Every structure is written in structure tokens, then in C-alpha cells.
Structure 1
């Protein structure tokens, strides 16, 4: 590299003006063995005759030889600002200034080259598949800048029979390759959001292949539609592969959001020109979809999309990550006048910055734990109350002042949930915990069995509350059938695989109390949600091929003999899989349970994808959560890290309740409140739609979250 710009400190001399930038001139390659040579130059963003190209790439070395394949691409990449090389990374003040110029750099570049990364076995099949799918008739009339937030409506209106035939004819293995391609890190790097949104022209490269920018949008739209409406088909399952540890993140929807935000900037109306293109809440939503090497860039990378100083936050790498995130959350609360962002607070075992104030949530929406305040069913525990933003405090980045009312203390906790894919797990402690509730739940007046079922899924199945599920009789039947399969699976675990199975303690000493409790709960519940020991026995007969008859125990019988497990039994096969957390939609043991007692109709129960939604919902909402009972008879779904004695609160401006842990009293002679840590959000049955808020809001007290 040419060292003509070197100063006394080495390669980098101080930049002469506030709008000066460095660019790299890349010299042509003679052959594949030639090292990449480049020269560092100065230029100024205020020049009228700027001519440079910008690179948009993911983490790692951007200087891949693929960019410069002259046989495929006739345009030679010459003057390029590459931040890792053109910015003095050791000079914090220069970094602050240059980051503030990134928006100008990408908006003034003649071309932004988006480097998706080198080709691999997935992209080799995914890119031709994208080109093939983009020839579907449904895309013929779709304009390049068309926003398709309602992708379901668009696809339903335009998808032809020929399109459906073409989609179905493609092997599912190719769709799996496409899924992995859409999950490339490039699309979720925080700087890429700004770079793509501001670019005048974009050329996307993967290895030596050009990926059409608009084609990518159409593919993301198609994938989102298939996953929503055809998840139970092999194609839908292939597109729903658990690419990353998080199982709930939809990569195609994140890509659609990126495209729609770009069009929002490029095609603003005259009225929109007078307004900020994004609210701070929208920017943080984008930030949480993205990743970056420096966590502060979650905030700083997106500030260039709006006018400088628009949100009162400036780029300053001297601040700690905790300070940057605290300022961002406080600014968000001031803008929205609500506390819904407290649902970003995840279980303590998942927190990436444990030294942050507990009210500062994760800036990553790929966390395993569901965020209840943003659920599509629309919880409204405080009846739409708003915050007085003048009272939240600002003198300390670590403290947040709020008002609320305590609604109960946790006195009993079940074991933490663990992932069971699409299957429903079962914990006998749920039954004993529910039996400790009043027979009629407060304030709903519903039987406690229904309270248990509703709480397990946070009253949210397939975007609807339980009371609005279609064909309620069949839905209740499905819940019992899934529960039976989960109970029989638990009995297999207890008999063959648990520590108790290897001990001298009789199996029946554990199983009998459980069956008594289950029947007690079932007999006291007339809603049809709770199964009985008789139905469990019937389910075992229909679905299990082992000889142990695990559900046929009584007080007068000896514990069943211990015949070896049958390897053909689906429950045994389930436990013996190399990865018990593999894709959840491949098989369903509950489908073997054809009928339980009196089914809703005489027709054969056909396999319906909706039949599995209850198990999926329970696993989605149960991740890193556990059931909890309060001292005053509420049942809730809370974070795993909750403890006995933690308090459930309704906070003014919050859609859902929160579990708080008291740490002390407010300082000062006139202070009367207390200091609390945020443990996490909660579903508390009977208060999620404002049932108790009208009375509780007259008892609000000041507290401080730290």
C-alpha cells in the first residue's frame, strides 16, 4: 500500500477537513498469483465531481479476488472507501467523525457493491433456484419498488395454478439450500442496513455470481407466504429449517423489512420529505434484526439514515456499551411513552451485557425467549395507560423512575421449560401447582384447569386467543390428545431414562400420586381441556409398543416388570434420537392416537396442521420460562430466573405485567419508594386485558428500576 499519506504515527496522517475521507485505489490483477495492490488517497465529500464506488460486506476480509473477475464483470472496481483500512481505528475521534459521514459516503457513491460472500454449495443451488422462481407469473406485474407488507394478500391474488405446479415440482433439498442462503450474515449486519437503504445503485455479488436486488425481494416474499400458509407441507418444512440456535427468527421477513425501508427512503412524497423517514422505534427494530462486531454500532450505524442529532444521540465510541444502550432505551421510552421495551429483557442466562441496568433489554430480536408485550393477540394489562416522560429520570443512565402497583408475590414455581420441538412436554408439577389454586380462578371465574391450559400458551395460539380458536370442541380434543402423548412420553422417561429408573424407588410411588392429581384436576374441570388417567391409558394402548403398560398402575399392584424398551416404539425412538431437539415438524406421535373417548364427531380425525399449533405455541412461549403461582391465587408464565418472593407488578405504560425483585429503598429524606431489578415480563392469567387495572391504578407508587 502506498504510504504517501503516512504521518508521524504511521500510515494515517490527520484528515484535513471534517468532510475528508480516504479511499483505496485497487490496481488491476495480472493473474491469480498476483497479490492485491492498492494505494490510499484523500478525497472530499463536498467535491462536485466525486467518482467512487462503495463496498458493502460482512465481517472479515473484504478483499476477495472474486470481485475482480474480469472475465465476468467488465467494470473494474477502482476508488473504494473500506472502513477497516481507510479509517484510523486507533483514533477514537476520527472514528466518531468518519462514522457520522457513512450516510454521505453510501448515498454519494456511484455504485454500491454488495458482497454477500464467497460461493458455497448452498449458493450454487440457491441462486439458480431464485432465478427460476422469479419467472413465476405472479411476479410479472410486480413493480421493482412495490411495497408488499401484506404478502399474503399479494400472493393469494396473483399466484396461478401453473405457479403452484412449478413451486411443487422443485425438490425440497433445493429449498433447504435457499433457506441457508437467505440466512447469510450479510443481510443481518447493522451497517448493511444503512448501506443498502442509501445506495443509488446496487450490485449484489455472491462469489462471481450477480444476484438481482429485486429478485431477492420477490423470493423473500414467496418464502414468507409459503411458511405462513403451507408449513405442514415438505416445502414449508424445508423453508423452516432451524438455521441458527434461535428457532423463531424469520430471515425472509427481515429481508422484506430491509427492502421496504429502502423504498420508503427512495420514494418519499413531498409531505414525507418534511418528516423524519423513521421513528426511533423503527430504527431500533431494524437494529435488533442486525448484527455487528462492535455492539455500539447497533445504535451508531443507523443514525446516518436520519438528520444529524434528530434523536439527541451522537456517535461517541468513548461511551461504554451500557451507556449507549441505556440512552437508546430512555430515548425510546420518551418517544413511545410506554414501557413495552421492557419485554426485551430476557432471562438472566441469556443476557449478553449483564452489567447493564436490568431494565435495558437485549438489542437482538433473535433471543430464544418470546417478547410478550409485542404478541399479536394484543395484551392490554394497563388499559392503554401512557407514561409521563418527564418523570422517568435522566441524571443517571442506570436508573429509571416508573409508577406501578404490586399484584402478588410468587410462592411456588415449576421447573424451567426445555425445548421439545413441535411436541408438547409435560411436567407433573404443573398439575400439583394448579391444584393449589382456587377451584375458580380470579377474576375470570373460569375453572383452574382451563387456567392452566391458557397460561401454558400465554393465551396465544396461531395469532388468536384460546376463546377464538375455530371449532372449539375439536381444539379441546386436540389439547387432550397432545397432553396424553406428552404424559405417555413422560412415563417412558420416568420408567426407562430418569435417575429414578436406575434406583430402587418403585416406579408406582412416583406414578400413582401423579395419576391421582391428574384425575382430581380432571374431575373438577368441566371445560373439556383436561385429560384423565383413563384417556392416558387409552392413548398408551394406541401409540406405544412397549410391554410395560406404564399407565396401568394402582395401589394394590406391584410396580410393573421392567421389560426392555421396544426400539420400534415412537416414544423410545424419540428419546434415542441423536439430537432430541431436531426439527419439530417431521413426525407426530399424537397422530397415532386416533380417538380418545367420544371424539367431537364420528368422522375420522384427519391430520390437520392446526392440530399441532397448541404444542408449538406452548414450546414457543415456554422457552426460558416456568409456571408460577402467587400468594393471592394467580397463575403466571414467568422467566426461568424468577425466584420465590419475587413480585408481579403492573407498571403504568406497560402492556403486560413484569416480575421485579426488590433490592432496597430510595435514597433521600423525602423518598418513599423502593428500588427494584427487572427479572422479566410475564403472562398472568386474568389480568392481561385490564381486568384489575381500573382498581389498581388508584394505588400507584413510585419505584426506581436499576
Structure 2
């Protein structure tokens, strides 16, 4: 576990070195620690194996170790595994999802340090020029616009934390639509299912500090929950219980859009409809199993075996999907998860 905590794995330049060192047939980077060395691919396979273990990994940990430490260890393994991914097969949005957990001495390197492994659409004619005299917000703005114009999507808005951005302040370093990638945090990748636009084309224009977006208002937010912990902590799951109490009372009530029980609709919102019935090609839980999982979460602290619960793969996936976010309900009674900046009246 101490090895997975080493900051070397979470440097932005380490990622690029590994990707470029393994590019091409027959090439493999070498990981060296002191006098010991191992082929990067062999090390990566070992970490991948640890990341995929469930009960076996749990039983190998010291008995006095809090169950949540298993999740934290898996989180570190997951980010080491992601060092193998990226490059020309990934969009800039996916690369920046992973880069949020990577540190660097200069905040501009959150973009400059990725240029060697960014996809061709971003490198070809990109407006991002390596110039360390420019302020980091300007570099981030250029990267945002270059990606958005090339893909005709605004998925990088998912990295904008409006809750921490004073949009009314004249002292704000950049417009609210420019992500602040300078912060290093272990954040879950935001999937397309969590975006208002999904994978649809976005219609927008840019003038100076103003980004104008054309869209259709479908609903108005009427109620907002507390924010889930942004890091993997015991209280991350506790907030799920709070959300259920706030928005699913009574649990046997009917969800207006589909006629399902509120409990069923609630768990479908948490797992983003990734059930066995709706995604038969994946090894996901079915709806009944998800509802049973929710009831186990609700019983945490009331006799539920926390160690066994944290060992479940879908628990880790659920935490990934909800942490740092809020639950909301619209005036029409619909609900779901949203970024921390969601407010009543939106």
C-alpha cells in the first residue's frame, strides 16, 4: 500500500514518459526503484490484478485496517492502471479526467505536459502554444476552445466547479466556463451519461469572455441535497442515505416519469441506468440487486457489515459516480445527480 502512495505515480510528466516509452511494437518502459527494476507492463498487470480483487484482497489486509482503506487503496491502483491508457485513442476530455489526479510544479503543465500524448485532432492546428510566460487561465481557455471547436462538444464544462467560482466577482481569474485544472484532486471521471448534452453536438459561439450556448430548458430545479464528499471517505456513502430520506419518502411511492417505485428510480439514477437489463453485455447488477445494495448502504452503522459492503465492486463504482456531486429534484418531480454548483431555480 505504501508503494501505491508514492507521489511519483501521480506526476503529470510521469504519465507522458510512460506513454511515450511504451509507444510502438516491442517497446516497454522500465520501472526502477533503487537497485530493483521491472518491466512497466509486468508491474502494470500486477496492479491491475490487485485492482480487480474483491474478497481475496479484503482478507489479505490487516484486521485492524478500517474497511474504507480498501477503497482508498483501490483508488490508488485505479490511477496507476490509468497510466497505461490515453493517447491517440482518447479524447482530450478523457485525458483531463485522469490528469486531475496528477500533480505538477507549474499549473500550465496540466496542458503542456499532455501535448505529447494528446489525440491528433487536438494537436493538428491547435491554438495551444507552449509559452510559460502566459498565465495558466489563458492556457486553459485555449485548450478548452481548441477541444470544443474540434469536437463540437462542451464536455469540458464538466470540470468547471461553479460552487467554487464567484461568477459575480471582477477579481475572478477567468470566466466561469474555463476549468481550473491547476487543482490536483482524486476525482472520478465524469461520464457522458452525467452530462446534460450526453454525446450530442453542442451549439455555441465564443466572443471574448462570453460563451453563448444554445439549448432547450426542460425543467427547473426545485430542491437540492447536501454535497457528497469529494474524496473516498466513510461519509461518502452516508450521504446516499441522506439523499434517499430527502427525495424518496415514502420509498414505495411512484416515480412520475416511469411509474417505478421511488427506490427503483433512485438506484437507477445512482448507477446511471447501468443495470443488467439495460446493458446485458456487461456484468452489472440487475435492478433488484441494485435495490438490495441500496438497502445495505442505508443500514451502514446499524449492523451492516461495512467490510463486506466496501469489498463489493459496485460500491466502489457507486462512490465514483456520486462523490463531489449533489442530488436534485425538479418542479415536475424528476430527480438525478448534478455537479456541486447546482442551485434551486436553475
TM-score, scaled relative to structure 2:
0.71
Cα RMSD of the aligned pairs, angstroms, is: 4.5
**Equivalent residue, structure 2, for 1:392:** 205
Tell whether 2:41 aligns with 1:232.
no
Aligned positions of 1:541-556 closer than 5 A: 543=303
> Helix, strand or coil for the counterpart of 2:332?
coil
Q: Deviation at 1:204?
A: 5.1
Judging changes above 3 Å, is the alpha-carbon distance between structure 1 residues 335 and 459 closer, same or farther for their aligned structure 2 residues?
Answer: same
Would you say 1:315 and 2:315 are equivalent positions?
A: no
Highest CA radius of gyration, 1 or 2?
1
Q: Which has the higher contact order (CA 8 A, sep 6+)?
A: 2
How many Å apart are 1:410 and its aligned residue? Answer: 2.0
Query: Is 1:632 aligned with 2:327?
Result: no
Q: Could you tell me which of 85, 92, 102 is aligned with 1:257?
A: 85
**Correspondence list, 1:450-599, <5 A:** 450-460=264-274, 469-470=284-285, 472-483=287-298, 485-486=299-300, 489=301, 543=303, 586=307
Q: Deviations 1:130-181 (Å, cap 9, x if unpaired)? A: xxxxxxxxxxxxxxxxxxxxxxxxxxxxxxxxxxxxxxxxxxxxxx3xxx32
Within 5 A, what are the aligned runs for 1:335-484? 335-346=150-161, 348-349=163-164, 355-363=173-181, 367-374=185-192, 382=197, 384-388=199-203, 391-393=204-206, 395-396=207-208, 398-418=209-229, 419-420=233-234, 427=241, 430-435=244-249, 440-460=254-274, 469-470=284-285, 472-483=287-298
Asked if the contact 1:188/1:290 (under 8 Å) is kept, the reply is yes
Distance 2:128 2:295 in 1: 53
For 2:43, which of 212, 215, 219 is the aligned residue?
A: 219
Please state whether the residue corresponding to 2:216 is helix, strand or coil: strand
Q: Retained in 1: the 8 A contact 2:227–2:325?
A: yes
Shift of 1:194: 4.2
SS in 2 for 1:408: coil
> How far apart, in 2, do the equivalents of 1:421 and 1:428 lie?
10
1:118-197 matched pairs, under 5 angstroms: 176=1, 180-197=2-19
> After superposition, what is the alpha-carbon deviation per residue over 1:416-453, rounded to whole angstroms, capped at 9, x for unaligned?
33442685556456335334999543432323332233
Per the alignment, residue 206 of structure 1 pairs with 33
Measured at CA, do residues 319 and 436 of structure 1 come closer, stay the same or move farther in structure 2, by a change above 3 Å? Answer: farther
Displacement of 1:330: 0.9
Cα deviation for residue 457 of structure 1 reads: 4.0
Task: Measure, in 2, the Cα distance between the counterparts of 1:409 and 1:237.
Answer: 49
Q: Size of the alignment, in residue pairs?
A: 323
Q: Is the 8 A contact 1:221 1:252 kept in 2?
A: no
TM-score normalised by L of structure 1: 0.38
Change (3 A) 1:382 1:302: closer
Structure 2 Cα separation of the partners of residues 420 and 459 of structure 1: 24
